[in-house]
A and B are shown apart, each in its own frame.
Chain A
Amino acid sequence: MEDDPISLSADLARNIGVFRDRFGASGNADIIIRRFRSGAFISALMTIDGMTDTREIDENILKPCMALPPDAGEDAPAESRVDYLIENVVSVLPTEMKSNFDDLIADALSGQSVLLCDGCAAACVMDTRGFEKRAVGRPEAEQVVLGPHESFGESIRTNITLLRRIVQREELTTEFLSIGGAMKTRCALLYLRGTADEAMLARIRKRLTACSSDFALSAGEVEQLIEDHPMALIPQCVSTERPDRAASFLAEGQVVVLTDGSPLALGAPSTFWHQLHTSDDASMRWQYGTFLRVVRLIGMLIHLFLPGAYIAVIRFHTELLSPILLASVYETSSRVPTPIFLDALLMTLAFDLISEAGLRAPGTMGNALGIVSGLILGQSAVSADIVSPLLLIVVAASGLGGFCIPNYALSVGIKIIQLLFLTAGALGGLYLMALLGLALLCAACAMRSVGSPLTAPLTPKRPGNPDLLIRFPLWRQKARAFFARQEH
């Protein structure tokens, strides 16, 4: 046992040596191992610089320990010296006893302090985390008119607190998991005990712990571990940066996955309809919420089909246009040097370019960039006969529809599908678009999110609240989601 490099030994010097070796402490400036006298024996405290609250360590661990009289703890058996300090001297919560080097190193890396005593083959882990973190701010991607204006941050602890403040139920359970091989990331599974389905919970737990990649640092990477169809274009988990929305996921019976260092919460399993809903829908009266959902759906459909349908009509189904409009289209098209499909493809990509540049440009520059690119470039392109004005209107309307999609991941997926429809419209008109539409619909309807059908409860039929496209009044919403435990 003494020579076992996995477990602590009773020799403090050896334990410190192992920690130094594992951290490469001679060249690693961040590792702090502080030896000090605590009464009748020697102790040591290991921390990572910058990750801990030094004031708390000084006030509650080091000062009280070093102030002990020289004979303090003399009578305590050597193997329970750490217990002696915990019971009589140290005033930090929570504390946990561990004797495995790997566990202790993982805890130290997460910002906790490890207290070791000479003669004792166990160490105490104390939560003294105190690293710098962003304050609770406003949501950036999920802004609402009504409803709360706070968002998750990067600290998993703060995020759990934000959720607990909303969901004040004793059934709310938090499970911590470490995922990844070489670089462990802390994840928290939150669910309402008795509401979330056990089988589904076990499935998520298994997928997260079976992660074979070296690291999964963000919520987006964790999402890729949970999802059922890695090749699909539609996201299969719903992500949110809003604690109130994450709380609604919990109430529905979903499992919320929080990742340390990521300001997004993942809700699983989810349905396609979750991607179209926003917090505003619930905050408003049901009529307004329903109206906005319909507007959003129309926006999404315009974004998806309009460019493809335009090309299809111009190339194959000119009988759908009035002769005057058709003459105008042909007149403007005749001045443009590129074929109409290429024209539309380039315009759509240019729109995506502008929106991506606007997103990445710092602060207010993003807005200015959008206006400059949209107005000046668009106007100039039309004046120079590089693009047809009607196509410009089509692409702009389609782009505007794309901004109505509330979920960013879904909007990127829909953008790719839009390009597929554009190509189909150019190659085979409305017929090829219909074939592609059916193929995509079939694929989407067969998809699952952590074992639950993605398009349910619409198809296949499952029991649930009348809250898909039409949001019925709150008093009509009595059931939990179909993926929750059935007695609810």
Chain B
Amino acid sequence: MQDRSIEQRTRAAYRARACAAGVACGAQIFAVGTGLTVPLALNAAYGAAVPALLLGGAIGLAAPKRLSKAPGRAFCVVLAVSLLVCSALLLAAGATLAQQTLLPNGRLLTSLMLTLSFALLCALSSGTGVCRVAFALRWLLPAALAVFAGLSLSSSSMAGLFPLLGAGVRSLGLSALLSLSACSPALMLFLPPQELETPAPVPKGGFFALRVGFGGLLGALMLAALALCNPYEIIQGQHVWGARMLILASARPREGLVQTLLILAQLFSMLIGAVSTLCAAAQALETAFPKLRFFSLWLCAALLLGALMATAFFGMDVLLAVSPFLLIPEGILIGISFFKKAPS
């Protein structure tokens, strides 16, 4: 009886964390896509997200193997840094999108600080809360995004989807390479959920891969919707990055409402992703340095503050430029997880 209860709790905890990882991956694919791949692959940017999706699935498959071993200090530090960069990118993307769309008269710095403060407020419940929110919204959020994006597309043509290779094979290949790192938030699956106090059986790899894949697919679909509605050629002149994330609607008030709701849904997914990666980064840091137990979240917050200040002064370019390099730690972490033998 006790075993069944523990199994239920364990599966629920892993399921919630996998959903959070999926949402974060989707948001990251969309954010990196609009920042890096759309200018290169143009309307075919959604296609460049496919390899990232596959890599996200691979992380999901590697997760059970990784979770069955005690992580080393170096592993945890690399994991914490990768997740922190993801968190910073998602927070900055959310704040910039909000500043560009919902609060056009506001200052970016204010928006960034506001977002960071609330992200910290959300993170105070140790990551359990945000993962459960991601699980609760696992159908509602994708459905809302799909419906609002669909309603915005009513006046668009399918022409945007035709250039399947976008600016050419080479550009598409380069875009795919650059966006490979977008599945980094899935690395949070290498840590056990914080609410689990006792070691418990880990679900199979497919369990994680499916959820990460589903979340990531959402990001790719949003990129496709962007291509349909708002071809890059139109916004090329606009140097404001947040505006690129808009799936434009026509000027009718009803569509203004749809647009606002779509932006809110996008923001929600980015914030969920940012908070869950922040909590996972703090957890990784705590595992690497147990003495930092009470300060790990605040240390991460301080690092995030630095990253966001850099964004406020230099724009999103800094974080976007760093993001492809996440592929290096990502590769090392996946490699170690797949090939290192479990201790007997």
* Residues of chain A having any CB pair with chain B under 8 Å: 316-317, 319-322, 428-432, 434-436, 438-439, 441-446, 453, 455-456, 458-463, 482, 485-487
CB atoms of B122 and A460 under 8 A apart: no
Contacts of A444 in B (CB 8 A): 129
Q: Which of A322, A429, A485 lies in contact with B102, CB distance below 8 A?
A: A429
Q: Give complex CA distance A435, B136 in Å.
A: 17
CB atoms of A431 and B267 under 8 A apart: yes
CB atoms of A429 and B8 under 8 A apart: no
Q: Give complex CA distance A361, B132 in Å.
A: 43
Q: When A and B form their complex, what is the total count of cross-chain residue pairs whose Cβ atoms lie within 8 Å? A: 104
CB atoms of B98 and A485 under 8 A apart: no
Instruction: Say whether B236 faces chain A, with CB atoms less than 8 Å apart.
Output: no
CB atoms of A460 and B1 under 8 A apart: no
Instruction: Say whether B133 faces chain A, with CB atoms less than 8 Å apart.
Output: yes
Q: Most chain-B CB neighbours within 10 Å: which of A460, A461, A463?
A: A460
Instruction: Say whether B321 faces chain A, with CB atoms less than 8 Å apart.
Output: no
CB atoms of A459 and B132 under 8 A apart: yes
Instruction: Say whether B163 faces chain A, with CB atoms less than 8 Å apart.
Output: no
Q: Most chain-B CB neighbours within 10 Å: which of A320, A442, A444, A445?
A: A442
Q: What are 16 A-B contacts defined by CB distance under 8 Å?
A: A317-B102, A319-B253, A434-B268, A434-B271, A438-B268, A442-B122, A442-B133, A443-B125, A445-B136, A455-B136, A459-B132, A459-B133, A460-B135, A482-B8, A486-B1, A486-B4
How far is the CB of A199 from the nearest CB of chain B, in Å? Answer: 9
CB atoms of B8 and A455 under 8 A apart: no
How far is the CB of A453 from the nearest CB of chain B, in Å? Answer: 8
CB atoms of A436 and B8 under 8 A apart: no
- Inter-chain pairs besides A319-B253, A439-B122, A463-B8, 15 sampled, C-beta below 8 Å: A317-B102, A431-B103, A431-B111, A431-B114, A434-B268, A435-B115, A435-B118, A438-B268, A442-B122, A442-B130, A442-B133, A446-B125, A459-B132, A460-B16, A460-B135
Contacts of B1 in A (CB 8 A): 485-487
CB atoms of B98 and A431 under 8 A apart: yes
Binds A, one of B25-33, B183-191, B256-264: B256-264
**CB-nearest residue of chain A to B193:** A460
Contacts of B115 in A (CB 8 A): 435
Q: Give complex CA distance A432, B114 in Å.
A: 8
CB atoms of B5 and A486 under 8 A apart: yes
Contact residues on B (Cβ < 8 Å of other chain), bracket: 35 or more
Contacts of A436 in B (CB 8 A): 118
CB atoms of B12 and A460 under 8 A apart: yes
Q: Which of B12, B114, B272 lies in contact with A438, CB distance below 8 A?
A: B272
Instruction: Say whether B340 faces chain A, with CB atoms less than 8 Å apart.
Output: no
CB atoms of B13 and A320 under 8 A apart: no
Contact with A along B93-129 (1 / 0, CB 8 A): 0000010001100000001001100100110111011
CB atoms of A461 and B267 under 8 A apart: no
Q: Give complex CA distance A462, B264 in Å.
A: 29
How far is the CB of A44 from the nearest CB of chain B, in Å? Answer: 53
Q: Give complex CA distance A322, B257 in Å.
A: 11
Contacts A485-B1, A487-B1 hold; do A434 and B264 have CB atoms under 8 A apart?
yes
Instruction: Say whether B275 faces chain A, with CB atoms less than 8 Å apart.
Output: yes
Contacts A320-B256, A428-B114, A462-B12 hold; do A434 and B128 have CB atoms under 8 A apart?
no
Q: Which of B5, B9, B114, B253 lies in contact with A460, CB distance below 8 A?
A: B9
**CB-nearest residue of chain A to B14:** A460
How far is the CB of B18 from the nearest CB of chain A, in Å? Answer: 12
Q: Give complex CA distance A321, B257 in Å.
A: 9
Instruction: Say whether B65 faces chain A, with CB atoms less than 8 Å apart.
Output: no
CB atoms of A442 and B125 under 8 A apart: yes
Interface SS of B by simple majority: helix
Instruction: Say whether B66 faces chain A, with CB atoms less than 8 Å apart.
Output: no
CB atoms of B129 and A431 under 8 A apart: no
Contacts of A445 in B (CB 8 A): 125, 128-130, 132-133, 136
Contacts of A456 in B (CB 8 A): 12
Contacts of B132 in A (CB 8 A): 442, 445-446, 453, 455, 459-460
Instruction: Say whether B244 faces chain A, with CB atoms less than 8 Å apart.
Output: no
Contacts A322-B253, A438-B272 hold; do A459 and B125 have CB atoms under 8 A apart?
no
**CB-nearest residue of chain B to A321:** B253
Q: Most chain-B CB neighbours within 10 Å: which of A317, A430, A443, A487?
A: A430
**CB-nearest residue of chain A to B110:** A428
Contacts of A441 in B (CB 8 A): 129, 133, 136
CB atoms of B102 and A430 under 8 A apart: yes
Q: Give complex CA distance A431, B12 in Å.
A: 30
Instruction: Say whether B211 faces chain A, with CB atoms less than 8 Å apart.
Output: no
CB atoms of B121 and A439 under 8 A apart: yes
Q: Give complex CA distance A443, B267 in Å.
A: 18
Counting from the closest, the 4 A-B pairs by CB-CB distance are A442-B129, A446-B129, A446-B125, A460-B12
Q: Give complex CA distance A321, B253 in Å.
A: 6
Q: Which of A319, A322, A431, A461 lies in contact with B135, CB distance below 8 A?
A: A461
Q: Most chain-B CB neighbours within 10 Å: which of A438, A485, A487?
A: A438
Q: Give complex CA distance A321, B268 in Å.
A: 23
CB atoms of A320 and B268 under 8 A apart: no
CB atoms of A459 and B260 under 8 A apart: no
How far is the CB of A401 from the nearest CB of chain B, in Å? Answer: 20
CB atoms of B128 and A461 under 8 A apart: no
Contacts of A462 in B (CB 8 A): 8, 12
CB atoms of A442 and B136 under 8 A apart: no
Q: Most chain-A CB neighbours within 10 Å: which of B5, B16, B132, B267?
A: B132
Q: Give complex CA distance A441, B5 in Å.
A: 25
Interface residue ranges of B1-54 to A (CB < 8 Å): 1, 4-5, 8-9, 11-13, 15-16
Interface residue ranges of B116-165 to A (CB < 8 Å): 118, 121-122, 124-126, 128-130, 132-133, 135-136
**CB-nearest residue of chain A to B98:** A431
Q: Give complex CA distance A438, B102 in Å.
A: 17
